[in-house]
Amino acid sequence: MTDLKTVLSEAVATAFAAEGVDAALARVTPSDRPDLADFQSNGALAAAKALKANPRELAAKVAAHLEGHPALSAVEIAGPGFINMKLSDAALSQRAGEVATDADKAGAAAVADARKVVIDYGGPNVAKPMHVGHLRSSIIGESLKRIFRFRGDDVIGDAHFGDWGFQMGLLITACGDEGIADAFMVEGDGPFPSESPVSLADLERLYPLAAGKAKEDPVFRDRARKATAELQAGRAGYRALWQHFVAVSRTALTREFSALDVTFDLWNGESDADPVMEEMIADLKAKSLLVPDAGAQVVHVAREGETRKKKLDDGSVVQVPSPPPLLVISSEGSAMYGTTDLATILDRKKSIAPDLILYVVDERQAEHFEQVFRAAYLAGYAPEKSLEHLGFGTMNGTDGKPFKTRAGGVLKLHDLITMTTDKARERLKDAKLGDDLPEAEFEEIAHKVAIAALKFADLSNARTTSYVFDLDRFTSFEGKTGPYLLYQAVRIKSLLRKAADQGAEAGEIVIAEQAERDLALTLDAFSTAVSDAYDKRMPHLIAEHAYRVAQSFSKFYAACPVLAQGHEATRGSRLSLSAASMMQLETALRLLGIQTPERM
């Protein structure tokens, strides 16, 4: 099943080639003037310049090859050499019918060559409650996982649990000092208590205290570093206590991720790379990549004679230094953050053998991943360009800074979800939506509206940009919001239920009215939106499409009566268009990780 944009691109490319022009210039795009044409190609201008020919004359020759194409009703030359193309009603009717019957992909195309892909996202940490800083990684990563899987790739989502670094040594030392885990502090092989000596509340209290103390007390910091090294070396009591830290933390994290409808195929932690650590260190030494540096051991990743440029937010370009060496072993002998990331790449190579690994992590970690990726390429743990850091901007408050509580602290994700659900509940009641529903169903709808508000507010922005969190605007049922899209989806579902109750049946789609044409064109564009979101790793392109579908359907519904249409064939055609719109809108929302209720 091929979308009309692709059909026309292939036809124009063939026409260009017939005139001796590079087919790569035959780019077809939606028309800048939809009142004049549906699609346009401006390639004749660039081609004529290269051939030193008249662009309008070249465009006319290309247009002559397109005359009589079954998908076109008109081909015209405009301006200095623009080729304007108008689709035939028959082609739009056929394409809309294909979308309506494509229950699996709603008109989108699968990849030609499927790959095995690992997506590393979420990034929760032991002993730390999830906060708003985890929101973007979680929902962007979840959406990308769904998009890649939808297109046919074999995708594995990994939470990559932060459970193996210095924070573990801090917690162990703090527990020992407070005397709440004495049974685990003794040396030897145990046995050790099977019941956790700490609760999540204990961990949330102890970690910031220990982190603060480590900054002020060098002796405490050194003890925590030693505890980290002993944990990683396999000290039994520390390992047993650490396992309780992980289990207690994961229970809370599962709750938060479930509330966001975010799931993982793997809950591997940094610790899961530990079994390959010794092998990796030996391998790096054997390849002369691991070298001493002030008591530590590093991998130099800078390239000789290298110059790097970075584009700033204002569009200017500056020269930046090469990345510093990757610290692999600290002077205390413990593995570092970069060490476990590098070992994880090796572990994934051995256990999964992925073609591509995507890391959905804050843009501020760009240099860290540059170091790790370069080290992995040098060591042969991954092919060049098979590792990608998909950085993202921050969710900011109205002051333009990362979102905080009114007291200035970091807002817990659980509190954000609760706050948004409360606002969604209020919005539903103000709009008198769901008044007649049982309380349990109403609460389920309020939760779906809240998650739609959060996710669409985030995913409607380009991944690389920051945005301002505005709860009132995001939860509105008007404008470009998640709740608006849910309302439109429910509206179409209601229409289709009424049609079924009246015995009205869907029929063959026949495009005749302008609003029908516009809706059919919008449905055709889904395939491009999905492939572009996939290629660019940008879910906002699907969010944009979902909004266009909702808008196009609303205009269609206002201009073209469906159930009130007396002509049976026309009513059947419009019902099929409505069902196709519903299926594609719901598919797009599902790719964003948004569930649609049946009613409101």
Note the pLDDT tens digit of each residue in 87-117: 999 999 999 999 999 999 999 999 999 999 9
> Of 361, 392, 423, which one is at a domain's C-terminal end?
392
Residue 406, pLDDT score? 65
The answer to the question of residue 184 being in a domain is yes
The answer to the question of residue 83 being in a domain is yes
CB 231 within 8 A of CB 273: no
Same domain, 255 and 272: no
The answer to the question of residue 160 being in a domain is no
Residue 408, pLDDT score? 64
Same domain, 449 and 549: yes
The answer to the question of residue 505 being in a domain is yes
> Of 225, 240, 259, which one is at a domain's C-terminal end?
259
Same domain, 552 and 417: yes
Residue 125, pLDDT score? 86
Number of structural domains found in the chain? 4
Q: Under 8 Å CB-to-CB from 451, ≥6 apart: which residues?
A: 259, 260, 261, 417, 420, 482, 594, 595
Same domain, 354 and 454: no
Burial 548-579 (b: 16+ CB within 10 A, else e): bbbbbbbebbeebebeebeeeebbbbbbbbbb
Residue 136, pLDDT score? 92
Residue 563, pLDDT score? 92
Burial 180-206 (b: 16+ CB within 10 A, else e): ebeebbeeeeeebeeebbbebebbeeb
The answer to the question of residue 274 being in a domain is yes
Alpha carbons within 13 angstroms on the beta-carbon side of residue 424 total 28
Cis amide prior to 402 (ω within 30 degrees): no
Residue 84, pLDDT score? 96
Same domain, 432 and 578: yes
> Could you list the residue range(s) of the whole structural domain that residue 192 is in?
166-259
Query: For residues 402 and 447, what is the distance between their CA atoms, to the nearest angstrom?
Result: 25
Same domain, 428 and 551: yes
Residue 204, pLDDT score? 87
Same domain, 455 and 559: yes
Same domain, 417 and 441: yes
Same domain, 468 and 542: yes
Amino acid letter at 531?
Answer: S
CB 16 within 8 A of CB 25: yes
pLDDT tens digits, one per residue of 371-406: 999 999 999 999 999 999 999 998 888 888 888 766
Same domain, 384 and 447: no
The answer to the question of residue 514 being in a domain is yes
Same domain, 417 and 359: no
Provide the whole-model pTM: 0.92
The answer to the question of residue 358 being in a domain is yes
CB 11 within 8 A of CB 531: no
CATH number at residue 56: 3.30.1360.70
- The closest of 11, 35, 9, 32 to 517, measured between CA atoms, is 35
In eight-state DSSP terms, residue 412 is B
User: Which residue numbers in the chain have pLDDT < 70?
Assistant: 310-315, 405-408
Residue 176, pLDDT score? 95
CA angle, 273 as apex, 267 and 277 as ends, to 5°? 175
- The closest of 131, 128, 120, 122 to 249, measured between CA atoms, is 128
Please return the burial class of 50, using the count of CB atoms within 10 Å of its CB with bins 0-12, 13-18 and 19+.
exposed
% helix / strand / coil in the chain, to the nearest 5? 55, 10, 35
Same domain, 507 and 539: yes
Amino acid letter at 2?
Answer: T
CATH number at residue 427: 1.10.730.10
Residue 589, pLDDT score? 98
- The closest of 169, 162, 166, 175 to 202, measured between CA atoms, is 175
> Of 87, 108, 136, which one is at a domain's C-terminal end?
87
CATH number at residue 311: 3.40.50.620
Would you state the structure tokens that stand for residue 217, as one six-digit string?
């007390």
